[in-house]
Structure 1
Amino acid sequence: MKPMAHLGVGIGWRPEIADAVERLDGLDWVEVVAENICPGHLPEALGRLRERGTRIVPHGVSLGLGGADRPDPEKLAALGERAVALGAPLVTEHIAFVRTSSPLLEAGHLLPVPRTRDALDVLCENVRIAQDALPVPLALENIAALFSWPGEEMTEGQFLTELVERTGVRLLIDVANLHTNRVNRGEDPAGVLDAIPLEALAYVHVAGGVERGGVWHDTHAHPVPPVVLDLLAELRSRVAPAGVLLERDDDFPPEAELAGELTAIREVLTATARDLPQAAAPDIAREAARNPAAGAEPEAGAETVRGPEHGAGAEHGAGKTGQVAAQTAAGAPEPVSGPGPGSAAKPEAGAEPVRGPEHGAGEAARTRVGLAQAALLSALVAGTPVPEGFDRARIRVQVRALAAKRADVVAKVAPELSGILGGRAPYREAFLAYAKGRPMTAGYRRDALDFAEHLLIQDLPADPAARRRLTAWWRERAGARPPRRIVRWARALAGRAA
């Protein structure tokens, strides 16, 4: 595994804030949603950033590496193509599932995988398939969740540790997601940081959210709260991350507020470095003093992030024990602890990543994972009964959140629809009525077309002029004539009978 390139402090690039991002002082890098760009037609603002030497990292959201199916070769090829086009040092994705193939259902959201042996075997094989197909290293992000799976066999720390040990994959740690899971699932963020191999850290995400009714919603549409910055400090006290990135996906604030949040991140990185005991981390303190704007930049030639097969370097702090690297820096051996329940022993430096006896997940394991995920996703998007063992109240919260997100994303993909329907409120009411019992199966653009066709079948909107506009909109994008009135009546009658 090649050393991880130093990134510094960055921000998630979004078209809505493209101009502001170009003007931000001291910005070292940006991250883009991979599925939202076309390699041959990069947005001009993104191209200008690349020309001036700003690193760009593609961040995928649709692979679903935690799903029961093996990764789609076309999606892997598309992600790799974007990495090459951007000159990216790595690509990132999520430890999540997003769809099922039987039945064919799309969540439109990152859903947690169960921390079981079966799910880990499936994930590890999918990760190795992805690694073999991608032209640059892969890092995977821990996700935020509203609910837990019943019958889990491992903690988050054990699950992530064994994933790294078996595949050599890097980790993208989102500290906002650690806070989300503390509130929603009762997990200890410090315990997770203590347990995982921080020498495999690629970079860090920081984002905002909001708490409603005892549930934390990871919105990426609110300011970063102090509690999340505190977790960044917790992580920084253990390791000098190669990069830290601010994520904002909606309700974008003025440029000055974005700059202020980046400044707050830099202050946490440098203040935490100053507060560390000098004997424990002399390199960290020296780095922060030399380059306060970027956090902790390693000295020239120093390796920033190593894969698990290389072991932990002195600059990274301790791995599973959560101690800083005082012993390693002094030449003493790193503390070694036996594997916890459900975790494999850490390979020696230079060893190959640990693999199962068959180097992959058995089909029986994939079938079991697939059945469990299909039952859950069907309950979330198709109205089927909630599987046994899940917190039904939390599942209801997730159902509402998925429907709301689906409506919001379709409104962004097809902004004309809200105008045709008379505004945001009537659009939202009509879409949520349509979506109830009609799960998404082929992405948001297809969903927008299906929604428009559904309205036309129902002879909606009631205003003839609006209906003509909707017909023209649908015809232009679907490349077909809308169904004749007799066909619309037949479909409507069939729907009522069903």
Structure 2
Amino acid sequence: MRRLGTGIGWRPEIADAVERMPGIDWVEVVAENVCPGHLPESLLRLRERGVTVIPHGVSLGLGGADRPEEARLTALAERAEALGSPLVTEHIAFVRAGGALTASPRLEAGHLLPVPRTRDALDVLCENVRIAQDALPVPLALENIAALFSWPGEELTEGQFLSELVERTGVRLLIDVANLHTNHVNRGEDPAGALAALPVEAIAYVHVAGGFERDGVWHDSHAHPVPRPVLDILTDLASRTEPPGVLLERDENFPEPDELERELAMIRDAVTAGRARAEGSTGTGAVAGSAGGGVAVLAPPTVRARERLAVAQTAVLSSLVAGTPVPEGFDRVRMGVQARALASKRADVVAKVAPELTVILGDGYRAAFLDYARVRPMTGGYRRDALDFAGHLLTAGRPEEPGSRRQLREWWLDRAGPAPRPGGGRVARAARKVLLRRA
């Protein structure tokens, strides 16, 4: 396994700080946020210095009932090649549901949702992983995700699910210790038990991130300092095996560079403590899971397995984003928390991809978007969602203030057609001036 060392998630907001940080061996970039033909100058400079860059995908949905889309696989492969990456990473999650398998409208979650740990889901995931592996020019590693809710009737623990996935596909693992902590708080799952069941020799690298607890629910925010329980899980992992790489994730609420450097130092100390614990124990000091004797030959999942998974995932996602009843066996309170979290994230991301909307609508943006999200599930990407939101408001005769409504109409017309209108960027330019004054 390639040694990576200590890394940090590269984000445009902290690009300059990352370039100046000592001891950064590698960075990870959200794959969908970079264009292979127009890589950010900061990433190019890091690469020239010998810093490894790894694309981290969020939209494949390999845990979904459908086979992975060829266009998404091609896009991920292009980014790996453009960045000269030794591997690419994605998630064990589903992000969309509906469509042909259920003869229902396609729904987008806009977020990573947990797959049921059932034989059907594992069979489908394994075939989807093999399809992805065949399409990618470098090895693939998959991340365990954080979850706010559990599926009823699960047949495998997380450790068993991941271990069999590795044995059947040869895929590598990206272990997020913050997600293990999240699942401990939210689902009562034992992090040590999950680590003990893992084939640790398959670990490509490790994620570390912060979050917060509210009303007994842990939110994996990536916007708060790394808490001690997460560092303790990292130490436990490092006592079992030496992780090839450890990376700090931060996506929001970026602190000053010296605070990020202190968190990186704490992460290094946690790994060192784990290695010391291993060396001080009897025997080898490491507990390695078994990845089996090679990659097993896979029988493809039956059509019925994909259909059963599709029906189940569509019912869950529809309840979260379209207000349909919560399926039997699910915790209604936790599903409500998840539904609100999805709507809130939608509002946040739309505000990022279309910041002019927050200028035009002012303080009323968030309430208006959340009202819209309750009746309009996302069926495409976030830019499409921004357009649909603006169109929804205009159809309803909003905003009430004529000047704001005129600005919103101009903004929508400039983006809804096949090409921008001549002079149609006036609203965007005016909004950018307001945003600059806010900064």
Pick the TM interval, shorter chain: over 0.9
For residue 127 of structure 2, give the secondary structure of its aligned residue in structure 1. Answer: helix
Q: Tell me the distance in 2 between the aligned counterparts of 1:16 and 1:456.
A: 33
Tell me what 2:435 maps to: none
For residue 67 of structure 2, give the secondary structure of its aligned residue in structure 1. Answer: coil
Tell me what 1:486 maps to: none
Q: Tell me the distance in 2 between the aligned counterparts of 1:155 and 1:274.
A: 29
Change (3 A) 1:279 1:233: closer
Q: Tell me the distance in 1 between the aligned counterparts of 2:38 and 2:418.
A: 27
- Which of 393, 396, 416 matches 1:458? 396
Tell me the amino acid that sits aligned with residue 82 of structure 1.
Answer: R
Q: Tell me the distance in 2 between the aligned counterparts of 1:20 and 1:87.
A: 22
Tell me what 1:169 maps to: 171
Q: Offset of 1:480 from its aligned partner?
A: 6.4
Tell me what 2:68 maps to: 71
**Is 1:347 matched with 2:287?**
no
Tell me what 2:314 maps to: 374
Q: Tell me the distance in 2 between the aligned counterparts of 1:274 and 1:365.
A: 46
Q: Offset of 1:242 from its aligned partner?
A: 0.5
- Which of 157, 160, 185 matches 1:158? 160
**Is 1:408 matched with 2:348?**
yes
Tell me what 1:12 maps to: 9
**Residues 226-305 of structure 1: matches in 2 within 5 Å?**
226-278=228-280
Tell me what 1:492 maps to: none
For residue 421 of structure 1, give the secondary structure of its aligned residue in structure 2. Answer: helix
**Residues 83-482 of structure 1: matches in 2 within 5 Å?**
83-102=80-99, 103-278=105-280, 317-320=286-289, 347-348=292-293, 351=294, 353-356=295-298, 359-423=299-363, 426-479=364-417
Q: Offset of 1:51 from its aligned partner?
A: 1.1
Further displaced range: 42-51 or 381-390: 42-51
Gaps spanning 5+ residues in structure 1: where? 282-313, 321-335, 337-345, 483-498
Asked if the contact 1:12/1:246 (under 8 Å) is kept, the reply is yes
Q: Offset of 1:476 from its aligned partner?
A: 1.4
Asked if the contact 2:210/2:226 (under 8 Å) is kept, the reply is yes
Asked if the contact 1:69/1:101 (under 8 Å) is kept, the reply is no
For normalisation by structure 2, the TM-score amounts to: 0.92
Change (3 A) 1:279 1:206: closer
Q: Offset of 1:157 from its aligned partner?
A: 0.7
Tell me the amino acid that sits aligned with residue 297 of structure 2.
Answer: R
Q: Tell me the distance in 2 between the aligned counterparts of 1:416 and 1:199.
A: 48
**Is 1:30 matched with 2:30?**
no
Tell me the amino acid that sits aligned with residue 359 of structure 2.
Answer: G
Asked if the contact 1:475/1:481 (under 8 Å) is kept, the reply is no
Tell me the amino acid that sits aligned with residue 167 of structure 1.
Answer: T
Structure 1, residues 375-399: CA drift from partner, whole Å, max 9, x if none?
0000000000110000011001101
Change (3 A) 1:480 1:59: closer
For residue 150 of structure 1, give the secondary structure of its aligned residue in structure 2. Answer: coil
Structure 1, residues 11-59: CA drift from partner, whole Å, max 9, x if none?
0000111111111111100000000000000111111111111100000
For residue 279 of structure 2, give the secondary structure of its aligned residue in structure 1. Answer: coil
Q: Tell me the distance in 2 between the aligned counterparts of 1:347 and 1:194.
A: 15
Tell me what 1:290 maps to: none
Asked if the contact 2:118/2:154 (under 8 Å) is kept, the reply is yes
Structure 1, residues 101-158: CA drift from partner, whole Å, max 9, x if none?
3230000000000000000000000000000000000000000000100010111111
Q: Offset of 1:5 from its aligned partner?
A: 1.4
Q: Tell me the distance in 1 between the aligned counterparts of 2:67 and 2:281.
A: 47
Q: Offset of 1:275 from its aligned partner?
A: 3.2
Q: Tell me the distance in 2 between the aligned counterparts of 1:257 and 1:279.
A: 33
Further displaced range: 190-199 or 453-462: 453-462
Asked if the contact 2:95/2:108 (under 8 Å) is kept, the reply is yes
Structure 1, residues 222-274: CA drift from partner, whole Å, max 9, x if none?
00001100010000000001100000000111111111101111111223223
Further displaced range: 6-15 or 269-278: 269-278
Q: Tell me the distance in 2 between the aligned counterparts of 1:362 and 1:51.
A: 47
Q: Offset of 1:280 from its aligned partner?
A: 5.2
Structure 1, residues 291-320: CA drift from partner, whole Å, max 9, x if none?
xxxxxxxxxxxxxxxxxxxxxxx8x93323
Q: Which has the larger radius of gyration?
A: 1
Q: Tell me the distance in 2 between the aligned counterparts of 1:205 and 1:422.
A: 36
Identity of aligned residues (%): 70
Q: Offset of 1:472 from its aligned partner?
A: 1.5
Asked if the contact 1:201/1:241 (under 8 Å) is kept, the reply is yes
Further displaced range: 400-409 or 270-279: 270-279
Asked if the contact 2:239/2:276 (under 8 Å) is kept, the reply is no
Further displaced range: 150-159 or 454-463: 454-463
Q: Tell me the distance in 2 between the aligned counterparts of 1:189 and 1:477.
A: 47
